[in-house]
Amino acid sequence: MRWAEGFIAVDWGTTNRRAWRIANGRLIEEFEDAKGVLSVGKSEFPAAVAEIRERLGDWPMLMAGMVGSNRGWVEAPYVPCPAGLDEVAAALIWAEEERTAIIPGLSCEPPDVMRGEEVQVLGAVEAGLVPGDALVCHPGTHNKWVTLKGGRVERFRTVMTGEMFNLLRSHSILSDLLKDEMAVDDAFCDGVRRGLEGDAVTAELFSVRAGVLLGRRRKEDATDYTSGLLIGADVGSSIRHGDGMVYVMGRPELTRLYAAALGVAGREAKEIDGEAAFLAGIQAIAGRI
């Protein structure tokens, strides 16, 4: 085995995959494409994995994300919380014996699951980007609120905020209003404040359309207000108990929205680069093989 010399790290999601060649703790090269698990048939995964090695070299491979789901290549059962890097590393599933391993996701009660985010969250602790006891917000299609205790994931909660916004943008009566890119502006902050009030979001969503029709809201503000409304409701329900810093981890275009919303809610937020956290996490797991 050549794990100490180097390996290929893969974050293989539903719609995209990203791979990095790592040697002696240093990033050598990487690539990203749109070949997510839903675009790869069960019988096509060996060829898709071989393609990664053709691009990055013939090295051991450690994969995280939806590639280990029931829609992926080989299912990696969930590790129950509380769990840390040791428990995750001990539950690796070998898709190719001693050559290609898949990292399991985590589960907790009430019933909830995650895949991929655990590598980032635990990696951030390993790298000193987040303390061992903390609340982490991981924005995405399915936003995760993760409670860390003693450097392990104690529990987490998933909120379908991103998916709700995407559905509204593509398949709702609001779709013609939600064309612009999201920005942190007055309209966004107004939406956040309304969402924090805790009223029925489904009713407030229709008011976006009504406000434009009646001339009480500018059409060009609809995207930002709606985004703020959904994120505000998400934040309000997730920070109701507790105080202190919230660590917002992921892609910058999403972390800035949640950090701004947390600021409106009166909570201090620190943004963490998701890629740096993922690479720290997957190297820590590779070091335990």
Query: pLDDT digits over 193-204, tens only?
Result: 999 998 889 999
Using the predicted structure, report yes or no on whether residue 11 has a pLDDT greater than 80: yes
Superfamily name with CATH number, domain 159-273: 2-keto-3-deoxy-galactonokinase, C-terminal domain (3.30.420.310)
pLDDT more than 70, % of the chain: 100
Cα angle value 94/275/229 (rounded, 5°)? 115
In the chain, CATH 3.30.420.300 covers 6-115
Mean pLDDT of the chain: 95
Query: pLDDT digits over 126-141, tens only?
Result: 999 999 999 999 999 9
Query: pLDDT digits over 178-197, tens only?
Result: 999 999 999 999 999 999 99
Q: Is the CB of residue 85 less than 8 Å from the CB of residue 122?
A: yes
Class of domain 6-115 (CATH, top level):
alpha beta
> What pLDDT score does 4 carry?
75
> What pLDDT score does 240 carry?
86
Burial of 285 (0-12, 13-18, 19+ CB in 10 A): buried
Cα 278 from Cα 116, distance rounded (Å): 9
In the chain, CATH 3.30.420.310 covers 159-273
Q: Residue holding tokens 């392990």?
A: 152
Using the predicted structure, report yes or no on whether residue 91 has a pLDDT greater than 90: yes
- Mean pLDDT value across residues 227-255: 94
> What pLDDT score does 200 carry?
87
Predicted confidence band at 3 (pLDDT cuts at 50, 70, 90)?
confident
Predicted confidence band at 1 (pLDDT cuts at 50, 70, 90)?
low
- Mean pLDDT value across residues 7-34: 95
Predicted confidence band at 12 (pLDDT cuts at 50, 70, 90)?
very high
Q: What is the pTM of this model?
A: 0.94
Q: What is the DSSP string of 74-112?
A: S--PPEESSB-HHHHHHT-EEEETTTEEE---EEETTTE
Query: pLDDT digits over 247-275, tens only?
Result: 999 999 999 999 999 999 999 999 999 99
| Pairing assessment for the beta strands 106-108 and 79-80 based on DSSP bridges | parallel
C-alpha 110, offset from chain centre: 20
Query: pLDDT digits over 44-70, tens only?
Result: 999 999 999 999 999 999 999 999 999
